Structures are given as C-alpha cells and as structure tokens.
C-alpha cells in the first residue's frame, strides 16, 4: 500500500540538441496530489507524453504498480490505470456529451466488441456515464454536441473523459488553462473532492502558482529536463534554486 504507484528511473529524452529529460528519476505514491511545475521548456509536457505513452524515451524505465510499462502502447497503459487529459481540449467533437463519456466507459467495461446490442439501452453504461457527467456538472447537457460547448465546459468534458476510464493515476495537463474564475473554481473543487475520495491520484502540470500551492501536497520542479525541487509546497517555495530559476526567468 505504500509501494510506489509510479516509479520513474533514469529517464532520458532529447530532441536533437534539446534535452527535455536528463536522468530523471522520481516516484509517486498513492493518494498524494502532486503538481509538476517549471518554466517553459522545462520538459513538463514531454514528461507527460513519455509517461502516458505518446513518445518513447531514449532510455530509462517506467514502472507502474510494480509493472514495467516502458514499452506499453498508449491503450494498454490506460487499461492498466494510467491516464491523462490534454491541455487543448481533445474531445469527440461531433458526438454528444453522453457519447463522449460513453466511449471510455465502454472500454472500461469491456463492451467495445459488442456489436449487436444497443448503447442507448444499456443501463450499466448509462448509469456510469450519468455519474461522471453529474460529477463534472454537465448532466443537463448530455445530449449536446461536444463542439457546441463553451471553452470551459469543454475543458470539464476533457477531464471527464479522462476520469471515465477510472484511472489510478491521472495526469492533468494544465487543467485550468483558459478558464474563467467560476469554471476554475468548479474544476478545482472537483479535483480536490476526487482526490480526497482516494480512488484517483492526481498529478497536475500547471503554470498557475495559486492553483499549485493551494491544491498540492507535493510539488516537483522541473528545469531543463532535471528535477531541481521536490517536496511540500512550503519546502519548494523556500528552495533557493527554485527561486533563482523563477526569479531569474522573471528578471530576464
């Protein structure tokens, strides 16, 4: 139970001359809401991409719940319980909200090969979908087409689709980007509540320091592909290296 949920060992990734991950090693433990911060170009997005399976690392290992998932394709990682949401809302545009959430639900319940039964009549799917929609506050909009949603609602849907896969570990890539204060409050509350429920461990990549420090129990600071800070928000705030990197960036 205290075994690491995710263990990253010596991850390396370079795009030509640009090093986005250098001997990166860290572990994540169940239930600790973690934020990953760092200035632009620090390698945060690349890290998420590598961990979720979009990009292969040059070298290193990724262990999830004790299993070596380094070579696993994306869909397999999701089925194991490692999921992510996207910074730019990546939804099923022409499908209804119900259908958007239904797809990961269908995958979860192993119904994707079922080709003669009707989705609409499937109570199990309907209940699961409605539950998620209710959670993100979009139950009333279940028949609306995804592309017709407001930006903030689309971000909510985005997180909803990721949650519907019932992940153990969920990476949220800048979940509050482009949201107005009302929407932001709503999504943060959702994350806080879900995190407290203990079924999902959140790792959030963020730029907004208020979000980071109010929400996180642990903060990891990336700079040029290396971890330069790792600890509670207080510890990180007072870390001289971190201050230099951020202050240095501001002055520059």
**Which residues make up the interface to other proteins (CB under 8 A)?**
52, 73-76, 78-79, 83-84, 90-95, 99, 102-104, 106-108, 111-120, 122, 125, 161-162, 164-165
Q: Which one, 117 or 232, has the nearer CB to other proteins?
A: 117
Decide whether 18 or 112 has the Cβ nearer to other proteins.
Answer: 112
**Separation CA 227–CA 68 (nearest Å):** 22
Instruction: Pick between residue 123 and residue 182 the one whose CB is nearest to other proteins.
Output: 123
Least distance to other proteins, CB of residue 229, Å: 29
Nearest to 233, CA basis, from 211, 248, 252, 251 = 211
157 vs 236 by CB, closer to other proteins: 157
Smallest gap, in angstroms, from Cβ of residue 250 to other proteins? 29
Min. distance of Cβ 144 from other proteins in angstroms?
15
The nearest distance, CB 141 to other proteins, in angstroms, is: 18
Cα(163)–Cα(177) distance, integer angstroms: 18
What span, in angstroms and rounded, lies between the C-alpha atoms of 37 and 220? 6
State in angstroms the smallest separation of the CB of 175 from other proteins.
15
98 and 149 Cβ atoms separated by less than 8 Å: no
Distance CA 173, CA 206 (A): 7
Please identify, using beta-carbon distances, which residue of 120 and 243 lies nearer to other proteins. Answer: 120
Distance CA 172, CA 234 (A): 22
How far is the CA of 157 from the CAs of 85, 107, 172, in angstroms? 10, 17, 13
Query: In whole angstroms, how far apart are CA 140 and each of 69, 132, 135?
Result: 38, 12, 12
């Amino acid at each position: 139970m205290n075994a690491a949920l995710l263990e990253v060992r010596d991850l390396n990734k370079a795009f030509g001359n640009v090093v986005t991950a250098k001997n990166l090693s860290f572990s994540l433990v169940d239930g600790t809401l973690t934020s990953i911060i760092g200035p632009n170009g620090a390698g945060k997005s690349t890290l998420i991409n590598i961990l979720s399976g979009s990009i292969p690392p040059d070298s290193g290992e990724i262990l999830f719940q004790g299993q070596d998932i380094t070579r696993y394709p994306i869909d397999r990682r999701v089925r194991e319980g490692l999921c992510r949401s996207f910074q730019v809302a990546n939804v099923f545009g022409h499908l209804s909200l119900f259908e958007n959430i239904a797809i990961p639900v269908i995958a979860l319940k192993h119904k994707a090969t079922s080709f003669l039964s009707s989705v609409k009549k499937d109570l199990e799917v309907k209940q699961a979908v409605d539950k998620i929609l209710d959670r993100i506050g979009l139950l009333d909009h279940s028949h609306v087409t995804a592309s017709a949603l407001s930006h903030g609602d689309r971000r909510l849907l985005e997180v909803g689709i990721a949650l519907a896969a019932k992940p153990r570990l969920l990476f949220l890539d800048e979940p509050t980007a482009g949201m107005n204060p009302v929407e932001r409050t709503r999504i943060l509350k959702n994350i806080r509540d879900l995190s407290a429920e203990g079924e999902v461990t959140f790792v959030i990549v963020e730029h907004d320091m208020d979000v980071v420090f109010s929400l996180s129990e642990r903060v990891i600071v990336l700079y040029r592909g290396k971890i330069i800070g790792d600890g509670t928000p207080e510890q990180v705030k007072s870390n001289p290296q971190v201050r230099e990197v951020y202050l240095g960036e501001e002055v520059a």
